[in-house]
Every structure is written in C-alpha cells, then in structure tokens.
C-alpha cells in the first residue's frame, strides 16, 4: 500500500542514518591496499579512540555487534574459563549463550530485567572467589531490551574493592556515542560496540577497545581464533590497513559519523539524549503506563521500554502504530515479548522527531483501546521547552 511521507523508524537500532553519512558511503570502492586507503583506515581507528575515550588499542571488524562479543572472549580467555555475567535482559542472555557455546563456563547472576547490573552482587561473588577462578566480569552498558543502563564505573569499583584480577568487559553496542562511556577512566579492559545504534551508521561494523591488560591476557589465551584475532590486526592497523578486506564504504561512513559527533561535541550529544530520555519518561508517566526500568539510577537515555496494562498486547499496539502512522516501534524480546514496546530516541534524532514519535504512541494507545491518560505529549513538550530554555540561559 502506498505510504506518503517519511517512515518513522523509532526502534532502538538500527537507528536512522543521516543523509551526510549516506552521501559519504555513496562513493566508488577504493583499493584497500592502495596508498590512499591508509589515511581512511587511520582516521577511522584514531577517531574511534576518541569516541571510546581511550588511548589504548581499538580494532574494527566487518561484522555485527555479535562478532565483537565473540572477539572479546576468544582473544582473552581459555577453554573452561569461568566468566561472571549479569542478567540485565535479552542481550546479556545472548552474550552468555555465546560464551557457553565457545567453551567458557559463564556464571549468570539472575536479574529481573528491570535495572542495570548490581555492583554489590558482583562484589560479593568476586570476594567469594578466593582462588580467582573467574577470569572476566561481563556487563551490558545499555541493555537495549529493557532500557536499563549499568553504571560501569561502579562495576569497576566493585572489582577493585574485591581485590579481584578479573578483566572487565562491557558491551556498549547501544550505549556508545549516545550516553557517556569512558574506557580509560573507568578501567574497562574490553569494550564492544557496533555501527548501527549511536554511531548512526547502517549495520555492518563492530568494534573492540582493548586495554594493555587485555592485550597481556591475549598472549596466554587458548581459545581458537583466526578471523577475530586482535594480534593479526595490530601490524596492518598501525598504517591504517587491515589483514583482510575491510568494509571500505562503511569506513567512509564511519569517518563522517565521527566528524558529526565531534562537530556537535560528545558531551552535547549525551546532553541531547538526556533531554529525550527525560521527556519520553515524563510522557509515559503521564499516560499512567509503567516504565520497564524500575530503578531511576539506571534509566536509559537511549530508549524507553513501556509495559502495557494486563490483557493488552504490545505487538497488536505496535501493529496499530505501523498501520496508522507508518511508525516502527521496538518489540518486546523473549521474556517480555508482547508485554512491552520500546521507543528508540537515539542517534540522528531531534526534538521534533521525539514529538512526532510520542504523538504516534499517544494516538496509537487511543486507537488500540489501551487505557491511558491524555496529555503525555503535552508534558513532553513542556519538558523539552523547559530544558531548551535552561540550556539557552546557561549559554548566555
């Protein structure tokens, strides 16, 4: 059926790709071994170091985020190693399954999918591991299935208070470039990210940031690896080249994305997402609906997951917003399937896109017969105008 106007893609990744990035990708393929390519590769690698806030190693894989998850584990660990993971939601669960399938022994701290990882539980478990059998602690920074954020600095503190030598691995696939991430300052050992969320690119690139401690662990790690081998990247990367064909056109796009992030300024990018998160949450509360994340300290500014009242199908509601308003909202995954829908407010996104999205949600609630209070959109407008006025006053 013909649809007029622009499709509203408001899922929490893949996010909308700005025209500037589409134009940058739309170039002839180049010789990835030729003299001009080194600059492209070098710019991408150094640019990503700035985004991760690290001066240590960064590698780029032509792969989805899942590839960089696997790379983090196979480069640093050996068969049968114990890893401590935390059940924040669907993505933490998938990472655990991956760990198991490559011969690790993950220990999963159970969570209720309504908050980030609990540093107290992690510290307690590490303290009881007196023989240091646990080789890595793995957490998800922004759990995209629930809209919960883990306070990474607190996890670092928990590991240090326990006096435990485990590596700290953080999946920031949907956090990076939307909410603050400080690889060096937070003492992260391996970070994992992907191109299609805060980085505003199409899916297809993934990243590891790697600490000196993780590089040392890689020297002893016995899990088999070839495509994911960090060491094979090191030599060619020094001059901006890769051991196999990189995703050349995606790297043009990545360099444009990094330029856009630096033009806006990373701190401004984070502040922008914070405004969206706050306004979206105020709208949800006004509707009288429940936010899936129950811990305000862990609210995500990347997306908001909303629980529908008992007896109402979130998937039927999403179907309504798609049919009536040509808007895609995120679905509930596994445990919360059909119970929640997710509003993505990340990446190449502005106030009016948020208002359009929230309007679509409020109209959709009405059409679907979901009990709610009116006025969420109005409250979100007030929130955005108040914070815009405050920001303008601060800038004067």
Ligand X SMILES: *Cc1c(COP(=O)(O)O)cnc(C)c1O
Residues in contact with ligand X by CB under 6 A are 13, 64-66, 91, 140, 144, 171, 173-174, 194, 197, 203
By beta-carbon proximity to ligand X, the closer residue of 61 and 242 is 61
On the 0-12 / 13-18 / 19+ scale of CB atoms within 10 A, 326 is: middle
Closest CA to 351 of 278, 261, 297, 258: 278
- Which residues of 156-270 form beta strands (DSSP E)? 167-171, 190-194, 205-210
What is the layout of strands, in order, in the sheet containing 290-291?
A: 8-10, 327-331, 340-344, 303-307, 290-291
**Phi-psi label, residue 369: left if phi above 0, alpha if psi -120 to 50, beta otherwise:** left
Phi and psi torsions of 59, nearest 5°: -120, 150
Those residues with Cβ within 8 angstroms of residue 247's Cβ, 6 or more apart along the chain or in another chain = 62, 204, 205
Query: Least distance to ligand X from the beta carbon of 335, Å?
Result: 15
Relative orientation angle of helices 152-161 and 119-128, to the nearest 10 degrees = 20
User: In what helix (H) or strand (E) does residue 19 lie, and over which residues does it extend?
Assistant: helix 19-25
Q: Which is nearer to ligand X, 13 or 116 (CB)?
A: 13
Shortest distance, CB of residue 391 to ligand X, whole angstroms? 28
Is there a contact between 320 and 363 (Cβ–Cβ < 8 Å)? no
The residue number with the shortest CB distance to ligand X is 65
Minimum gap (Å) between residue 3 Cβ and ligand X: 26
Q: How far is the CB of 206 from ligand X (least distance, A)?
A: 7
CB of 121 to ligand X, least distance (A): 20
Least distance (Å) from ligand X to the CB of residue 13? 5
91 or 287, CB closer to ligand X? Answer: 91
Nearest residue (CB) to ligand X, 68 versus 162: 68
State in angstroms the smallest separation of the CB of 261 from ligand X. Answer: 18
- 187 or 203, CB closer to ligand X? 203
Question: How far, in Å, CA of 194 to CA of 84, rounded?
Answer: 22
Q: Taking the complex as a whole, how short is the minimal distance between the CB of residue 66 and ligand X, in angstroms? A: 3
CB of 174 to ligand X, least distance (A): 3
Q: How far is the CB of 197 from ligand X (least distance, A)?
A: 6
The CA distance from 387 to 389, in Å, is 5
Coil, helix or strand at residue 57: strand
Helix/strand/coil percentages in the chain, nearest 5? 45, 15, 40
Sign of CA pseudo-dihedral 286, 288, 293, 298? positive
Which residue lies nearer to ligand X by CB, 13 or 111? 13
Residues 344/13, Cβ–Cβ less than 8 Å? yes
Using the minimum distance from each CB to ligand X, give the nearer residue, 68 or 380: 68
144 or 304, CB closer to ligand X?
144
Nearer residue to ligand X within complex by CB, 135 or 197:
197
CB nearer to ligand X: give 203 or 236.
203
Give whole-number Cα distances, 31 to 27, 232, 249, 254, 294, in Å.
12, 20, 11, 18, 51
Cα–Cα distance, 327 to 137 (Å, whole number): 38
């Amino acid at each position: 059926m013909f649809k007029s106007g622009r499709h509203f893609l408001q899922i929490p990744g893949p996010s909308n790709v700005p025209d500037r990035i589409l134009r940058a990708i739309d170039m002839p393929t180049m010789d990835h071994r030729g003299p001009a390519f080194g600059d492209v590769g070098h710019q991408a690698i150094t640019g990503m170091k700035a985004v991760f806030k690290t001066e240590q190693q960064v590698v780029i894989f032509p792969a989805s985020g899942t590839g960089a998850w696997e790379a983090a584990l196979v480069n640093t660990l050996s068969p049968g190693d114990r890893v401590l993971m935390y059940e924040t939601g669907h993505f933490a669960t998938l990472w655990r399954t991956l760990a198991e399938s490559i011969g690790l022994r993950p220990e999963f701290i159970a969570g209720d999918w309504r908050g980030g990882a609990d540093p107290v539980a992690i510290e307690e478990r590490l303290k009881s591991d007196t023989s240091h059998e646990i080789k890595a602690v793995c957490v998800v920074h922004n759990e995209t299935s629930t809209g919960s954020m883990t306070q990474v600095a607190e996890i670092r503190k928990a590991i240090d208070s326990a006096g435990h030598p485990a590596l700290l691995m953080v999946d920031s696939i949907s956090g990076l470039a939307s909410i603050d991430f400080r690889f060096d300052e937070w003492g992260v050992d391996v970070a994992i990210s992907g191109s299609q969320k805060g980085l505003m690119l199409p899916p297809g690139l993934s990243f590891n940031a790697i600490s000196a401690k993780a590089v040392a662990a890689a020297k002893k790690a016995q899990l088999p690896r070839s495509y994911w081998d960090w060491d094979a990247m090191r030599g060619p990367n020094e001059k901006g080249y890769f051991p196999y064909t990189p995703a050349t056109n995606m790297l043009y796009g990545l360099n444009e994305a990094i330029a856009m992030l630096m033009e806006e300024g990373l701190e401004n990018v984070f502040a922008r997402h914070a405004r969206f998160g706050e306004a979206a949450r105020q709208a949800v509360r006004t509707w009288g609906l429940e936010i899936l994340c129950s811990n305000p300290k862990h609210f995500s500014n990347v997306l908001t997951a909303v629980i529908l009242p008992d007896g109402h199908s979130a998937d039927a509601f999403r179907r309504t917003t798609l049919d009536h308003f040509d808007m895609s909202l995120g679905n509930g995954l596994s445990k919360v399937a059909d119970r929640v829908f997710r509003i993505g407010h990340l990446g190449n996104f502005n106030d009016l896109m948020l208002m359009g999205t929230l309007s679509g949600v409020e109209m959709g609630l009405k059409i679907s017969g979901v009990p709610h209070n009116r006025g969420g959109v109005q409250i979100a407008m007030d929130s955005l105008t108040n914070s815009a006025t405050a920001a303008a006053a601060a800038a004067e």
